[in-house]
Structure 1
């Protein structure tokens, strides 16, 4: 999405502006990865920040290109980088690239980030892997005590992808505070190497849904078991 195409109010007619916004929203809804292109000379405007918030709300993987970087004076680039970082604190998992579409600089790294964001968003994660990360998070920083009882998070599994949805079962899960949710997001993101995509959590109270369920043995496992039993009988 080139945010320069969504002009500021007053520069174009309201009808054209509304059409541009609608087309941008449609692009977000249909995209696997959104590339938001902003003007280096203008930095992250309030309108840009609002559009980025819509991408976040839609759960889309994201990377940002600050374009026309070649037009910036060297003395202005440090301030521009600082302003971008300040405006994007709510998207700390997103990679920002400083590019020049005219000269082609920075574009290769940009598309490497796009591929990485897509892989992270669509990744399938093993239940054992998620529970290992959960155990590490709980050991490092246990959940808080609420009304005299400690919140207990017992079990995690993947509930979806694009964006990754991690379902955590336990007791008093509706009492998990926002700061602890953010801690879990950081821990899972760092441990699993998920870049460029939001991570969603769903907390459920109750028992482990897989407790007591019989494991389904694959044909390969059945053949392996038969070979093992034959070997035991021969001995």
Structure 2
């Protein structure tokens, strides 16, 4: 797994950012300069991917102790994959920071300048001074107020290895483009049985997955109990809805890693295998009990396999949550990488609104296998690039020659360009949003690959 190191002078907020990214208090933070002396390391989720985050001691040479701390920090930085150099946005530009930054830049690793403590407009104006660093990637953040971190996470995610297991992705694209005829009207995609939909039901223990399965198939197919972890073996059941066969698999509930015991270890492995063979996942959450970090990890499994997804808020009849506020929390905070997912509130025990899920499954499946006409796609891309031109790459013009969908389930789009590596993640996201707005891709991931015609140079993002 790749590692991200937080580097900077003492008291710039490295440990606070470390704790924020870890979503728990691990590193000790204080106003005392040099509180962190050794490196802390923990696993974190960055979007749908995983990485190790490392909190390092401050770069300082004021005494013998700090010189050793600095030496250790630089050693760990050389072994890390990505470097985040933090500075204090409330202070002026520091030549010592510039020197440290450029010594790290020589390591030829992805590196960003992160300006912390940018809490207000005045701080933002001061942060402009750091443009003089001459670095391309600069992020203004406030760890204390949780401001600006989404952009930083998006930047980090593009450098992390895919945790998904989409088979032969590179070969699929190579084969498609090799045989692609721009004048051909009908494009060939992989064969999909459009009358059979495979749906995995996932969630942590005791959120009501078995009750939901019973309500969906209208029979006592899965054993229901208040004892957490009743379901161990996957339970399959198929029904017909609007002439489509929907095959449900109720998976065993997932516990925190430290609490997975005995047979449940096998259940977790089986759950992953079921997701590999599913097309759509129902992520079941307990609206009465609330949501936690484990829900986010399970959501990450769905993103990992590029599945269609519907978020099901179960036990809504017992909940005191506000629906609109809950949707906002899930899409903008907890499950940003599943922001495209529709959210349905139900009561599995009473069967209230469960029928809505069946109709939503059909809608999401249609989006999952949707084929966009090449002419319409290119008209959209042309309009989008005119409205918001592509940024230059160090003064060089960046062009998209044409766009073409090269697969379905999930939908995958190739952008044929002159400089594919220059397509910034933020612009790629802009195009994704434009495509989603024009064509209905609710509930499904949208993969965009930038590709240079006639070479293997490409860049992908799901």
Same fold (TM over 0.5): yes
Q: 1:82 to 1:138 in 2, by over 3 A?
A: closer
Tell me which of the two structures has the higher relative contact order, counting C-alpha pairs closer than 8 angstroms and 6 or more residues apart. 1
Instruction: Answer yes or no: is the 8 Å Cα contact 1:43–1:80 preserved in 2.
Output: no
Query: Aligned match of 1:84 in 305, 318, 330?
Result: 330
Q: Distance in 2 between matches of 1:43 and 1:30?
A: 29
Q: CA deviation at 1:9?
A: 5.0
Query: Aligned match of 1:138 in 352, 376, 385?
Result: 385
2:280 corresponds to: 33
2:254 corresponds to: 6
Unaligned runs of 5+ in 2: 1-200, 206-252, 455-462
Q: Distance in 2 between matches of 1:195 and 1:70?
A: 26
**What do you get for the CA RMSD once the two structures are aligned?**
1.9
- 1:156 paired with 2:403, answer yes
Query: Aligned match of 1:122 in 340, 351, 369?
Result: 369
Query: Secondary structure of the equivalent of 1:162?
Result: coil
2:394 corresponds to: 147
Query: How many matched pairs?
Result: 204
Query: Aligned match of 1:56 in 293, 298, 303?
Result: 303
1:113 corresponds to: 360
Q: Which moved more, 1:99-108 or 1:162-171?
A: 99-108
**Larger fraction in helix:** 1
Q: CA deviation at 1:8?
A: 3.7
Q: CA deviation at 1:101?
A: 0.6
Q: Distance in 2 between matches of 1:43 and 1:151?
A: 46
2:341 corresponds to: 94
Q: Distance in 2 between matches of 1:10 and 1:135?
A: 51
The 5 A counterparts of 1:204-219 are 204-206=451-453
Q: CA deviation at 1:26?
A: 1.4
Q: 1:175 to 1:82 in 2, by over 3 A?
A: closer
Instruction: Answer yes or no: is the 8 Å Cα contact 1:169–1:205 preserved in 2.
Output: yes
> Normalised by the size of structure 1, how large is the TM-score?
0.80
Q: Distance in 2 between matches of 1:40 and 1:30?
A: 28
Question: For each residue in 1:102-124, what CA deviation from the matched residue of structure 2 results, as whole angstroms up to 9, or x when unmatched?
Answer: 11122222222211111011012
1:195 corresponds to: 442
Q: CA deviation at 1:195?
A: 1.0
Unaligned runs of 5+ in 1: 208-235
